[in-house]
């Protein structure tokens, strides 16, 4: 059975005062039936890990470099994330692909580094509104998967997050049928590439304007194993509504 996952991506939000949200989350869920992961900005990662130490809340990074060390000013290696207390890292988010011109091969190299370091790689895929309207969604998703996911992937070290770019932070959400179509496609591609055993064990997350009010219906969709949540994960009370929906799915 795939353990469901509620992952929060704080993006470039949060200072020291935000750590109290993690304490609230840990107090609310002393023994959650689903996996709960928060990915704060790098400046908070070590303190976040200390805050949730001995709880069932995990923390992760928002990116990592493909190299283990070297002259890469401002970058963070996968080993550094592990040293800071991370168990996972988000890679290939559309904001990284757009803002930093990350290509599929860049994401693939980072994912290899993350997996080698013992991190779970949450690899993001998703189409733009123009691609959706041109009926190119599955071609785009397939290409991103082929180029971004490394061969050493397993159900333990790979998580795939489908985040339609046009739905991130906009309040717009694909129809349930559209979400289901993409998630079923991702599952089939994973099974074809890695075999049924691995393909069926990889968790698939949906991300893009997930909120407590729409989470339950999204989690009822085929092959949706959880969510990668942006703004609604910044406050423990908001994120709790999503976690509750996932626990009841």
Is residue 126 within 8 A of residue 141, CB to CB? The reply is: yes
The CA distance from 48 to 43, in Å, is 9
Q: Give yes or no: 181 in active site.
A: no
Using pLDDT thresholds of 50, 70 and 90, give the confidence band for residue 172: confident
pLDDT at 173: 81
- Those residues with Cβ within 8 angstroms of residue 83's Cβ, 6 or more apart along the chain or in another chain: none
Distances (CA, A) of 105 to 78, 97, 108, 191: 17, 11, 5, 21
pLDDT at 199 over 90: yes
Average pLDDT over every residue of 115-130: 96
Q: pLDDT, tens digit, for every residue of 32-44? A: 999 999 999 999 9
- The predicted structure's pLDDT at residue 72: 98
**59-117: pLDDT as tens digits:** 999 999 999 999 999 999 999 999 999 999 999 999 999 999 999 999 999 999 999 99
Looking at residue 117, what DSSP letter applies? T
93 catalytically annotated: yes
Among 79, 93, 95, 102, the active-site one is: 93
What would the mean pLDDT of 160-168 be, rounded to a whole number?
A: 93
- Convert the pLDDT of each residue in 216-226 to its tens digit: 999 999 999 99
Contact 28, 236 (CB under 8 A): yes
Residue 1: pLDDT band (50, 70, 90) is: confident
Strand blocks (E) in the chain? 5-9, 35-39, 57-61, 88-91, 120-125, 158-162, 203-206, 226-229
Which of the four pLDDT bands, split at 50, 70 and 90, describes residue 57?
very high
pLDDT at 229 over 90: yes
Report pLDDT for 170.
Answer: 83
- Residue-range definition of the domain harbouring residue 106: 5-247
pTM: 0.97
Domain count, the chain: 1
Tokens standing for 52? 């949730």
Mean local confidence (pLDDT), 206-211: 93
**Domain holding 31: CATH number?**
3.20.20.70
Residues near 125 by beta carbon (within 8 Å), at least 6 away in sequence = 92, 140, 141, 144, 145, 148, 160, 161, 162, 163, 186
Residues 89 and 119: beta-carbon distance below 8 Å:
yes
Q: How many CB atoms lie within 10 A of CB 237?
A: 12
| CA dist., res. 96 & res. 190, Å (int) | 23
Q: Which two tokens stand for residue 224?
A: 């949706």
Which tokens hold the place of 74?
């401002």
Q: For residue 150, what pLDDT is reported?
A: 98
**Which residue among 35, 95, 163, 183 is the active-site one?**
163
Per-residue model confidence (pLDDT) at position 108:
98
Q: What pLDDT is recorded for position 112?
A: 98
């Amino acid at each position: 059975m795939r353990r469901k996952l509620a992952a929060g991506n704080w993006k470039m939000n949060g200072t020291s005062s935000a750590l109290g949200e993690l304490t609230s989350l840990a107090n609310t869920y002393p023994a959650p039936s689903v996996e709960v992961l928060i990915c704060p900005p790098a400046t908070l990662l070590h303190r976040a890990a200390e805050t949730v130490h001995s709880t069932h809340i995990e923390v992760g990074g928002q990116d990592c470099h493909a190299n283990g060390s070297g002259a890469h000013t401002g970058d963070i290696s996968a080993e550094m994330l592990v040293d800071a207390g991370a168990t996972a890292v988000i890679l290939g988010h559309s904001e990284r692909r757009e803002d930093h011109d990350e290509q599929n091969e860049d994401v693939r190299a980072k994912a290899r580094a993350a997996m080698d370091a013992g991190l779970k790689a949450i690899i993001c895929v998703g189409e733009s509104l123009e691609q959706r309207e041109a009926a190119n969604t599955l071609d785009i998703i397939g290409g991103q998967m082929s180029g971004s996911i490394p061969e050493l992937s397993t159900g333990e070290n790979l998580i795939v997050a489908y985040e339609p770019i046009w739905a991130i932070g906009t309040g717009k959400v694909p129809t349930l049928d559209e979400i289901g179509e993409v998630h079923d496609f991702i599952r089939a591609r994973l099974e074809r590439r890695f075999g049924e055993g691995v393909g069926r064990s990889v968790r698939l997350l949906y991300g893009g304007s997930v909120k407590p009010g729409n989470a339950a219906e999204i989690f009822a969709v085929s092959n949706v194993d959880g969510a990668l949540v942006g703004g609604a994960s910044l406050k423990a009370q908001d994120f709790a509504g999503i976690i509750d929906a996932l626990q009841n799915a």
